[in-house]
Structure 1
Amino acid sequence: MHNFFFGIYPYIALGVGIMGSIARYERDPFTWKSSSSQLLRRKQLVIGSVLFHVGVLFIFLGHLFGLLVPHQIYEAIGIHAEAKQLLAAVAGGIAGVAAIAGGIMLAQRRLSDPRIRATSSFWDTTILLMLIAQLALGLISVPYSIATAEHGEVIKFMEWAQGVFIFQPDVAEHIIDVPLIYKLHIVLGLTIFLVFPFTRLVHILSGFAAPFRYFFTRTGYQIVRSRRQAPRNPAE
C-alpha cells in the first residue's frame, strides 16, 4: 500500500488532474468559473475569502518551491536543511492558521445559508471541506516539523517530490519511515489534485494564465471607453 500511495498514486492523481482539466476546458468551457455566491450573501465573504485565498496561495507556492527546487540551490545561498524546515514550519503554520480560519468562515457561510446551500453543488461543499481538512493536517504536522528540524527530514520529501517528476524507480522509499501524519497529508493533497478538474478550483488556472494571455495574445485585453465618449447615435 505504501508503494501504491507514494509510487503509483501520484501519477494517477496528477494525470487525471492535468488531462481532466484540459478535457473540461475543451468540452465545457462555460463551466470554467468560480461560481461566486457574493450576490446571495456578502457577509463573511470578504474577510473569509481574503484569509483563505492568501493563506492557501502562500502555502501552495511554499510547497511548490520548497519541494521542487533542488536542495543544492538552497545550500548555495546559505539555507541549510534545518533552517529550511524551521522556516517552512513557522511561515507555513502562520499561513495555515489564516487559511483555515478563512475556510471555516466560508464553510459556515455556505452550510448555514439556505440560499447558498441550495445553489451549491456536491463538489462546491466537498472540495472546501477537503481543503480545510488538508490545512488541519498541515497544522498538526507543524510540531513534528519543528521537533525533527535538526535531522533535516525535509530532504526526504524533496527527494520524493523531485523523484516523482523525473520518474525515479522506487521513489516511495524516500518517505517510507516518515510519521503517519505526513503520509496522510500527502495522500489527501494528491486526492485534491485528482478531483481538481471536477470542482470550481479550475479557476485557479485562469488566475495564473491571465497575465500570459494579456501580454502574449491580442484577445487578452478589453478596450473600455467612458460614457462621455460613447456615440450617441446607436447606428454609429
Structure 2
Amino acid sequence: MNAFFFVAWPYVAWVLAIVAGIYRYFTARYTYSSLSSEMLASRSLFWGSVSWHYGIIPILLAHLLAGVFPSAAAAAVSRPGALLGLEVVGLALAFLSILGIATLIGRRLGTRSPLRRETSGMDWVLLAVLALQVVTGAGIALFVRWGSRWYPYTAAPWFWSIVRLDPDPAKVAALPGFVQLHFVSGFLLIALFPFTRLVHLVTVPVTYLWRPYQIVSWLGRRGAGRSPMP
C-alpha cells in the first residue's frame, strides 16, 4: 500500500488536478466560483468563513514554507522556546480551523435550512475531506509532538523526492497511521480541486486593479436626491 499512497498517489492527484482543471477552465469557466451562500445564512457564514480562513491560511503557508525551505525551517525551531511557541500557535490555528469547518458543516445540516437544498454531493465530499484534514492535523499536534521539528526531516524530503520524479517513501512510511492519513487526504484535496468550489482559489481578481469604476445609481424613493456613487 505504501507504494501506491506514497509513490503513485501524489502523481495521480496532481495529473488529475491539472488535466481536469484545464478542461473545466475551457468548458465551464463561469463555474469558477465559491458560490457564496451569504444571502441564505449570512451570520453563520461569517463566523464559519472567518474562523476557517484565518485558521487554515497561516497553516497552509507554514506547511508550504517548511516544505520549500526545510533547512531554514529546521533552524527556525532549533531553540526550545521558538519550537514551543510555534507548536502552541499551530495548535490554536488548528482548533480555529476546526471551529470554522464545523460551523460551515453545521449550517447545512438543519432539515429546514435552505443551504441543505443548495449543497451538492461534491460539496459534502469536500467538507468531509477538509474536516478530516484539519482534525488529523490537530491530532498530530496533540499526539505526535514537535511536528515543526521533525517535518523538515521526514515529509519535506519525501515531497522533494516526488518533485524530482524519484519518490522515496521510506521516511514517511515509518510515521504513525493517522499522520500518513493526513498526507494522503491532503493529496485527495488536490485531486478534488477541479471538481469542487476550491477552484475559486485560482481566480484572483487582478483585473480589478485597472478596471474602470462602476457607477451605481439608486432608483426609487429610497434613492431620491442622491447622486451616482463611484
Partner Cα separation in structure 2 for residue 147 and residue 70 of structure 1:
15
From 162, 184, 188, the counterpart of 1:164: 162
Give how far 1:90 is off: 2.8
Partner Cα separation in structure 1 for residue 143 and residue 70 of structure 2:
23
Match of 2:123 in 1: 124
Q: Is the 8 A contact 1:68 1:161 kept in 2?
A: no
**Local SS of the residue matching 1:161:** helix
- How many residues align structurally? 219
Q: Which runs of 5+ in 2 are unaligned?
A: 218-226
**Structure-2-length-normalised TM-score:** 0.84
1:210 maps onto 2:208 in alignment: no
Q: Is the 8 A contact 1:107 1:128 kept in 2?
A: yes
Listed one character per residue, the Cα deviations across residues 160-205 of structure 1 (whole Å, up to 9, x for unaligned) are: 112111212x411231211111101001111111111100111111
Partner Cα separation in structure 1 for residue 23 and residue 9 of structure 2:
20
Partner Cα separation in structure 1 for residue 70 and residue 138 of structure 2:
25
Match of 1:221 in 2: 211
After TM superposition, list the pairs within 5 Å mapping 1:1-236 onto structure 2.
Answer: 1-71=1-71, 73-74=72-73, 79-80=77-78, 86=84, 89-112=87-110, 113-146=112-145, 152=150, 154-168=152-166, 170-206=167-203, 209-211=204-206, 213-214=207-208, 221-225=211-215, 227=217, 228=227
Match of 1:233 in 2: none
**Structure-1-length-normalised TM-score:** 0.82
Q: Is the 8 A contact 1:17 1:195 kept in 2?
A: yes
Q: CA RMSD in A?
A: 2.5
**Local SS of the residue matching 1:223:** coil
Listed one character per residue, the Cα deviations across residues 67-121 of structure 1 (whole Å, up to 9, x for unaligned) are: 12241x346x654397776555333211110011011111110121432111111
Query: Which runs of structure 1 show a deviation greater than 3 angstroms over 4 or more consecutive aligned residues?
Result: 77-89, 147-150, 225-230
Identity %: 26
